[in-house]
Amino acid sequence: MNRSVPPPTLTTVLPLAAATPTVTSVSPTSGSTAGGTQVTVTGAGFTGATGVRFGATHSPSFTVNSDTQITATAPVGSGTVQVTVTTPAGTSNQFVTFTYVSAPVPVLSSVSPSSGPASGGTVVTLSGSGFSGATAVRFGGVSAAFTVVSGSQITATAPAGSGTVQVTVTTPGGTSNGVSFTYVSAPAPVLTSATPNSGPAAGGTTVTLTGTGLATTTAVRFGATPATSFTVVSDTHVTAVAPAGTGTVQITVTTPGGTSNGVPYTYSGAPALSGISPNQGSTSGGNTVTLTGTNLTGATSVLFGATPATSVTVVSPTQITAVVPAATAGPVDVTVITPGGTSTLPKAYFYVSPPVLLGVAPLSGPLAGGNTVTLTGTHLIEATAVRFGATAATSFTVVSDTQITAVVPAGAAGPVQVTVTTVGGTSNPVPYTYLATPNVTTLVPNQGPTSGASTVTLTGTNFAQTTTVLFGAVPTGFTVVSDTHLVADVPAGVAGPVAVTVTSPGGTSAPTTYTRVAPPGI
């Protein structure tokens, strides 16, 4: 059985109609009546756009960035108008408005610095007029983060970019003229040190910054505050005057290559001295004193009058030790100098003249000591010690600035040097001799008439300093021949034995017997 096959059916496929464009927002939403504001139109269906209108007026120029964004220049206009986009598919009908305002168009006169690294991040200061109410800052077509400082100044952070671009400011009054900013590929500067690294809170300290890549420095900042001034010395050195500040901040350097790492700088409070110990010493200096107070960290000098201390050691923020320099006798001011300032204690330290000894009396004494001597000289009033050689006097009394009495300590036979020590130092030495007690071994002759009128020879030791020869209690004349011999006159006396003794500063000898013999009777 034959079946008939129906003929094939042809279906015509018609192209889909493009969607009518949609506008959802514009930015900014206002601009100058003079036109010129760069407006970003956001929505959908913008591909192939043939026109952008502000009310009934065509935008003099526009760029289709994507199917969802157009950048258009606002024409001259007034009041509030609808912004529409026209494509081959039609014209948008959303009620998105743009308001013309009579604010002045901003004027940009300069940007500083005028260059920065391609990676962005440079903080740029924009100067000009009409910046109030700014809604955008652009580097070329790229928006930047910014802060309106005043109607004539804006700070902005450059975005990443390349080549030379025009920086513009947009306000409700329109978009400014462009000023060039150049992206460079130079490396960012590097800081290694700051000298000094501290200073007073009032600022004014000149700081030397050391590092690399500093030759094209455009800014130096202490924290967020620009340096009062700066000078590029070389590619490795910049000097900058610190502004006022507090605490510890980071110093940075900005060049077209970027902003450096930070190095610390500390703002110090002014020092305040409260005391010094000891508060007096020798005119020759060399002694160490301790200064106390506050904010002493970083002390660079301690002055005694106008003379710097030989050395200074900062122990803590409240304590310094200093080696006193030489000076003339009398009081002086003591001053400490720190990065935070100076502090002075008026007439806080007294230079004392060193003692001078002129003599000691008597000049000698016994080995056992215990005798009292008188020392004469000058500047003795501050005496703290009297020494016989290395041995301190048993005791001493300061009679006046020119006289001291001292009890002699025990010592070995022979001369020693006597010195006096005061806060002014140690005196010159004067000699004192320890003497052994005289010793009589023989007496020749050992007898004689009661009438005296004869001499005897004494043999022994330690006779050189003999002061007295006694027959009993009667002193007699004598002649010292040597340290071992002396000749003495025999005084008249009653018959019988009498003790003969020899006395020197070293003591009195043991007695030796001399016998007086009466003449024979008739």
DSSP 71-88: EEE--S--SEEEEEEEET
Q: Give per-residue pLDDT as tens, 139-193.
A: 998 999 999 999 999 999 999 999 999 999 999 888 899 999 998 877 889 999 9
3-state secondary structure of 339: coil
> Which contacts qualify for 486-492: CB closer than 8 Å, 24 or more apart?
486/457, 486/458, 487/455, 487/456, 487/457, 487/458, 488/455, 488/456, 488/458, 489/452, 489/454, 489/455, 490/448, 490/452, 490/453, 490/454, 490/455, 490/456, 490/514, 491/452, 492/450, 492/451, 492/452, 492/453
3-state secondary structure of 425: strand
Structure-block tokens of residue 313: 């050691």
What distance in Å separates the CA atoms of residue 185 and residue 440, rounded to the nearest whole number?
Answer: 109
Pairing status of strand 341-352 against strand 330-338: antiparallel
What distance in Å separates the CA atoms of residue 441 and residue 81, rounded to the nearest whole number?
Answer: 143
> Going residue by residue through the chain (522 aa), what tens digit of pLDDT does each one get?
444 445 544 444 444 567 899 999 998 888 888 888 889 999 999 999 999 999 999 999 999 999 999 999 999 999 999 999 999 999 998 789 999 988 788 999 999 988 888 888 888 999 999 999 899 999 998 999 999 999 999 999 999 999 999 999 999 888 899 999 998 877 889 999 999 988 888 899 999 999 999 998 989 999 999 999 999 999 999 999 999 998 899 999 998 888 899 999 988 888 999 999 999 999 999 999 999 999 998 898 999 999 999 999 999 999 999 999 999 999 999 999 988 889 999 999 999 999 999 999 999 999 999 999 999 999 999 899 999 999 999 999 999 999 999 999 999 999 999 999 998 999 999 999 999 999 999 999 999 999 988 999 999 999 999 999 999 999 999 999 999 999 999 999 999 999 999 999 999 999 999 999 998 865
Question: Of 158, 139, 155, which Cα lies nearest the Cα of 147?
Answer: 155
- CA distance to 40, 45, 84, per residue, from 24 (Å): 11, 11, 10
Intra-chain end-to-end CA distance of the chain, in Å: 220
3-state helix, strand, coil in the chain (%, to 5): 0, 55, 45
What distance in Å separates the CA atoms of residue 43 and residue 66, rounded to the nearest whole number?
Answer: 10
Bridge partners (DSSP) of residue 52 are: 85
